[in-house]
Amino acid sequence: TSINYGNIPESIIKEEKDLKAALNAPLDDTTDMESFMKTQNDWNEFLEKLKTNYPNYFNLKYASLAQSLSTIQSGIPKDKTFVRYAFIDGTLVAFVISQERSKLFTLEGEKVKDLILKLNDNQEQLTTDFWTLHELYNYLWKPFENDIKTENVVIIPDQVLFNLSFEMLTPQLVKSMPELAANSLLSKHCISYNYSLFLINQKSKPIGADRNFVAFAPEFTKNMKDEYVIALKDSIALDKTYLNLLPQPFSAQVAKHYSRYFNGNFFVNENASKSVFLNNANEHKIIHIGTHAESNNLSPELSRLIFAKSTNDEDNSLYTYEIYNQNLNANLAILTACETGKPTYQSGEGMISLAHAFNYAGSESILTSLWKIDEQSSATILTSFYDYLAQGLSKDKALQLAKLDYLSQAKGRTLEPQYWAGMILMGNTAPIDMQTAQTPWLWILGFLVFAVLVGYVVIKRKRAI
C-alpha cells in the first residue's frame, strides 16, 4: 500500500515512479545512449525540483544520496559516534563514523535475523533470554567496539534492526536481572536512533516560550465509558473495543503534572479527543501523548493512536497516513503508547510507523516505544526524563539517566527489559530550553537577594560618610 505524503501532488509521485522505471530498465545493444543520458539528466533535475519545492519529502527519501562522506563527517559532533546498519543482498554491514574516523564492517546478517526473531518471541512471552542478548552483542557490536570512543552513540538501523533496543545487549553473558541492568550497553553508552545519516546535521527549531508543552491523555476511565454508553442511541453500534481499553491513570497524572510544571496545557479524559489534538498539537516544544495504540502489520498506514470518544459517530482514531499530512512542528513528540515505534518494512517506502510519521510531520525528535510497555514503569521513567530535561540535559542523556534511576529502584520482574528498554529516542538529541513554573520564583528570589545587597551597600556607604 502506498503512503499518501502530505502536499505532494500525484503528478510528482507519478513522475518519480516513471523516472525510476526508466533508470532501472536493462541496458542492451539496442539501448539509445543519448536517450539513457537524457533520463539521467531528467532524474537529477527532478531531485533538484524536489529539494526546492518539497524539502521534507526530499530529505526523507533522497537527501543522504546528495551528501558526500566528508560533508556528513564534518557535521558530526566530537562527542558522538554514528553506527549505520544496512542489509545489502543478504549481507549485513555496519558503517561506523565519527568526526575523526570512518570504517566499514561486514557482519553475519542471517544469524542476526534469527536471533532477533527468537528475542521477539521471548518478549511476547515476557521472558528474557540472556544468551540471545549476549549473542546479539557479539554479532552487532563486538566487531567494532574498540572503534567507538564516545559515550554518545547514534544508531541508524535497517529492516529488522528497527525492532531491537540495543541498550539491553550485554558484553558478557549475565545470569540475573540485576546483573543485566548493571552490565548492559545502557550502563556504558548514551544511545539514540535516527532514520538517516543526512538528518544528523539538522538544527533544532526555535519555538516560542509560550508554546512550551501540550499533553493529551484520554485515560479511559470507567466514568468516560459509562457516559459514552449512555449517549448511544443504538446499542448495536456499541464500540466494544473502546470499552475494553484499559484505564491509564499514570499517563494522566504525568500529563497533568508536567503541563503545570512547564506552564503548558493538558487535555485529559473526554477532552482528549482526536479533533482537540489536531486543533491544538502543532508548534509546541513538547507534544505529549499518553494513550493506547494499535500496530497494523499488514497495512502499516492504518496503525493508529486511540483518542477519547463521546458518541459512536465521533472519529477517535488517528492513523499513520493522517499524521503524514499534518503540520506538527515540535522539538520533541512523546508517544507513550504500546508499539508506537514498531515498524513494518515495505519495499519502496522504507520503515513506516507512527513515530516515523511524526518525524515527517515536523517533530524533530520522538520518544517512542518499540513494544507493548507497562504504563506504570513508563510513567516512572518519563517523570525522571522530564526532570532531567528541565535541568538542561540533552534528550538522550536525560533518557539514559531516567532508565538508570528506574533500574536502581526496580525489583523482581520490573527489572525485565520489557519494562524499560522499549522506550527509545529517535532524532535530534539537543537539549530543550524549557521554562518551568518555578522559573518566575527564581527570578523573584534573585531580585530580592540583589535588592538586599544593594541596600546593604547603600547603608554602609551612608554610615561611612
Give the CATH number, domain containing residue 341. 3.40.50.1460
pLDDT-derived band of residue 45, with 50, 70 and 90 as boundaries?
A: confident
Distance of CA 382 to the CA centre of its chain: 14
Distance of CA 253 to the CA centre of its chain: 22
Give yes or no for residue 278 having a pLDDT over 80: yes
Whether residues 116 and 257 share a domain: the answer is no
Question: Residue 348: its pLDDT value, please?
Answer: 43
- DSSP code at position 438: T
- Neighbour-count burial for 75-112, b at 16+ CB within 10 Å, e otherwise: ebeeebbbbbbbbeeeebebbbbbbeebeeeebebeeb
Dump pLDDT digits (tens) for 399-418.
999 999 999 999 988 999 98
In a domain? residue 1: no
Its pTM stands at 0.79
Whether residues 111 and 185 share a domain: the answer is yes
pLDDT-derived band of residue 345, with 50, 70 and 90 as boundaries?
A: low
Question: Residue 68: its pLDDT value, please?
Answer: 56
- Of 200, 228, 254, the position where a domain reaches its end is 200
Give CA separation, 5 vs 61, 202, 323, in Å: 12, 21, 9
Residue 345 or residue 330, greater confidence: 330
- DSSP code at position 307: -
Dump pLDDT digits (tens) for 105-143.
989 989 999 999 888 776 655 567 899 999 999 999 999
**Rg (Cα) of the chain, in Å, rounded?**
25
Segment 296-316 shows an average pLDDT of 83
In a domain? residue 303: yes
Segment 260-287 shows an average pLDDT of 91
Please state, rounded to an integer, the average pLDDT across all residues of the chain: 82
pLDDT-derived band of residue 387, with 50, 70 and 90 as boundaries?
A: very high
Whether residues 370 and 449 share a domain: the answer is no
In a domain? residue 42: yes
Whether residues 75 and 169 share a domain: the answer is yes
Whether residues 128 and 172 share a domain: the answer is yes
In a domain? residue 5: no
In a domain? residue 345: yes
> Can you say whether the dihedral through the CA atoms of 139, 142, 147, 150 is positive or negative?
positive
Judge contact between 212 and 330, C-beta under 8 A.
no
Name the domain count of the chain. 4
Give yes or no for residue 459 having a pLDDT over 90: no
Whether residues 425 and 460 share a domain: the answer is no
Give yes or no for residue 208 having a pLDDT over 70: no
Segment 385-395 shows an average pLDDT of 96
Question: Residue 240: its pLDDT value, please?
Answer: 84
Mean pLDDT lowest among 378-382, 426-430, 456-460: 456-460
Compute the distance between CA of residue 354 and CA of residue 341 in angstroms, rounded to an integer: 6
Residue 292 or residue 349, greater confidence: 292
- Neighbour-count burial for 231-256, b at 16+ CB within 10 Å, e otherwise: eeeeeeeebeebeebebbebbbbbbe
Considering all CA atoms of the chain, what is the largest pairwise distance in Å, rounded to the nearest integer?
104
Whether residues 231 and 271 share a domain: the answer is yes
Dump pLDDT digits (tens) for 62-101.
665 555 566 677 778 899 999 999 887 778 889 898 888 8
In a domain? residue 4: no
- Of 176, 200, 224, the position where a domain reaches its end is 200
In a domain? residue 60: yes
Judge contact between 277 and 216, C-beta under 8 A.
yes
pLDDT-derived band of residue 209, with 50, 70 and 90 as boundaries?
A: low
Whether residues 212 and 189 share a domain: the answer is no
Full residue range of the structural domain in which residue 48 is found: 10-66
Full strand arrangement of the beta sheet holding 91-97: 102-107, 91-97, 80-88, 152-156, 190-193, 423-427, 365-369, 330-335, 284-289, 213-217, 265-268
Q: Which residue has the cell 499534518?
A: 326
In a domain? residue 3: no
Helix residue spans in 375-414 (DSSP H): 375-390, 395-409
Dump pLDDT digits (tens) for 179-194.
998 899 999 999 999 9
Judge contact between 205 and 364, C-beta under 8 A.
yes
DSSP string, 80-91: EEEEEEEEETTE
